[in-house]
Structure 1
Amino acid sequence: MRIVDVADPLAPQEVSSFVPEPVNGQPAPQTNDVNVDDRGLIHIVDRNAGYDIVKYEG
Structure 2
Amino acid sequence: MNRLSRLIVRRVGRFALAAPLPEPMPFGGIPAAQWLDDLKLFATGWIGGLVVFGTFFG
Which has the larger Rg? 2
TM-score by length of 2: 0.19
Greater helix proportion: 2
Greater RCO (CA < 8 Å, at least 6 residues apart): 1
TM-score by length of 1: 0.19
Greater strand proportion: 1
